[in-house]
Structure 1
Amino acid sequence: MPTDRRIVLFDLFGVIARHQLPGAQGKMAARCDTPTDAFTTAYWSCRPPYDAGRQSAPEYWTAVLRQLSRPADADTIEELRLTDIDSWSRVDDRMVAYVQSLREVTEVALLSNIPSDHADAFLAAQPWLRRLDHVAFSGKIGAAKPDRAAFQHCVTAMRAAPADFLFVDDREENVRAARATGMNGHVFTDPDDLATVINAWLPKPAVPLTRG
């Protein structure tokens, strides 16, 4: 049963933060002396256990390099790790300001698929995240979207009912998974459209989204 709470639960990348820096995978592929398409295949196919906190960064990069038949020495692994973290470090300042402003009228939380070491770096660079009502990183909680356990973590951690949440993500499969748990869901495509949806869902209007 829902309570009278309203919790906006945001995805991070593709909503508040930018997707990976263009050209980053090409740069990492060059470091491995391998074609970009082969690197990209290995990068993503090995990623799920790393995102879900079941693998450390060295374990992940060793798996990638082995799939590429490249040596997995410590220096290469650390260079790739740091390049990867940097490539996911950009935010949309307009959305950051909007998310923070929402806390004046409702509870705001975040659920992101991000490895543990990436999460540590992101928190250090974006301290405003610590002012949200709850932050759940897949690498820290041991579950990644669209796994039901990732959404259930937020419900349990916030002592809420699924229907108390409006989940916002740019990936339709993640929104479908959230809805299957009983949450409300919105597929993010445009900041202005999102503000309209949130204003309609909240009991009282939110602070307007400022123009960038």
Structure 2
Amino acid sequence: MPTDRPIVLFDLFGVIARHQRPGAMDGMATLISASTDAFIAAYWDCRQPYDAGQLDASQYWTAVLHRLSVPAHPDVIEKLRLADIDSWSRVDDRMVAYVQSLRNVAEVALLSNIPTDHADAFLAAQPWLHHLDHVAFSGKIHAAKPDATAFHHCIAALHAAPADFLFVDDRSENVRAAQAVGMNGHLFTGYDELTTALDTWLPTR
């Protein structure tokens, strides 16, 4: 490791937090009497600018509903928005504890693709986030992985060199993007593999 100041940079969903709640897409589709397949396509096709802070929640859901030929009534948008936030609200308690424990031997930061309103809800519900060395949410920094700008934001915010970082994500394209800017990368496949990798990479506790 090139420095004595290691930084572990974590993805959120699929690593520390769980992926979207099973059945959530069906529930949101039912709210507007849409087929689940059509809803999923519209949801994801419109998502990138929402994640990157280029659309607010109202603009995003208006775009989704337009794709589905459903009127964009404010009360419908709010029901969808709240259901969406709830669907992404679960965390892995063992991973939360492990991430916090790493602060004894490293700086610990977070880089997540998450819209601004989701980020605000997550920050309110998960106080441990406030104790990390840096938290970068895509909607707030206006850059979403795998865009190199998101990684450069973390490098600048932590006043570090790219090689000081080990980036942990469950998506291979994001790990490759981190490596392309000079970070070390670990593709998350489970708790045991992660702890083994970090025990090798980090200084002895």
Fold match by TM threshold 0.5: yes
Is residue 25 from structure 1 mapped to residue 25 from structure 2 by the alignment? yes
Specify the code of the residue in structure 2 equivalent to 1:60. Y
- Say which SS state the counterpart of residue 192 (structure 1) adopts: helix
CA contact (8 A) 2:188 2:194 kept: yes
2:170 match: 170
- Say which SS state the counterpart of residue 186 (structure 1) adopts: strand
**Structure 2: how far apart are the matches of 1:81 and 1:193?**
35
Specify the code of the residue in structure 1 equivalent to 2:42. A
1:77 match: 77
1:180 match: 180
1:66 match: 66
What are the within-5 Å matches in structure 2 for residues 16-165 of structure 1?
A: 16-165=16-165
- Say which SS state the counterpart of residue 167 (structure 1) adopts: strand
Compute the displacement of 1:113 (Å): 0.2
Unaligned 5+ segments in structure 1 are 206-212
CA contact (8 A) 2:50 2:115 kept: yes
Unaligned 5+ segments in structure 2 are none
CA contact (8 A) 1:3 1:161 kept: no
TM-score by length of 2: 0.98
**Structure 2: how far apart are the matches of 1:29 and 1:193?**
36
**Structure 2: how far apart are the matches of 1:149 and 1:204?**
32
CA contact (8 A) 1:111 1:138 kept: yes
How many equivalent residue pairs?
204
**Structure 1: how far apart are the matches of 2:31 and 2:179?**
41
1:82-104 deviation line (CA, Å, top 9, x unaligned): 00000000000000000001011
1:209 match: none
Indicate the RMSD between aligned Cα atoms, in angstroms: 0.6
1:6 match: 6
Compute the displacement of 1:163 (Å): 0.3
1:158-178 deviation line (CA, Å, top 9, x unaligned): 000000000000000000000
**Structure 2: how far apart are the matches of 1:198 and 1:121?**
30
CA contact (8 A) 2:105 2:203 kept: no
